[in-house]
Amino acid sequence: AQSVTQLGSHVSVSEGALVLLRCNYSSSVPPYLFWYVQYPNQGLQLLLKYTSAATLVKGINGFEAEFKKSETSFHLTKPSAHMSDAAEYFCAVSQQYSSASKIIFGSGTRLSIRP
């Protein structure tokens, strides 16, 4: 069985500060890992994904995530937060070579940016 745990339902950082959103996964087979972002009143959109090609994955809007197998983690980072980064972020896991119907989402982390 697969699962993801997002540590912290709400994270608040100052504009210009480092953003760190934590995600740990559990998977008995090599995983695909995703970060999705949900801006207010919108659906989710893919931020980045890990598919075993490289452990450091770069996404849109300056975000990146590093796959660490030894720590079963896939934390999302951004060096300098912008006000426009305020949104809810979801970590997700699926099995390699499976369909999107097998994607398991975490409970989400709401990111707030202080001026």
Partner 1 sequence: DADVTQTPRNRITKTGKRIMLECSQTKGHDRMYWYRQDPGLGLRLIYYSFDVKDINKGEISDGYSVSRQAQAKFSLSLESAIPNQTALYFCATSDAGTREEKLFFGSGTQLSVL
**Is 41 near partner 1 (CB under 8 A)?**
yes
Token pair listed for 15 = 């504009």
CA distance 20 to 13: 9
Q: How many helices (H) and strands (E) does the chain have?
A: 0, 11
In the bound state with partner 1, the residue whose beta carbon lies nearer, of 50 and 81, is: 50
What are the backbone angles phi and psi of residue 9, rounded to the nearest 5°?
-80, -20
Site for partner 1 in 61-100 (CB under 8 A): 90, 94, 96-97, 99-100
In the bound state with partner 1, the residue whose beta carbon lies nearer, of 28 and 101, is: 101
Token pair listed for 73 = 């983690």
Which residue from 18, 46, 54, 60 is in contact with partner 1, where contact means CB under 8 A?
46
Which residues would be at the binding site for partner 1 (CB under 8 A)?
9, 32, 36, 41-46, 49, 51, 90, 94, 96-97, 99-101, 103, 105-108
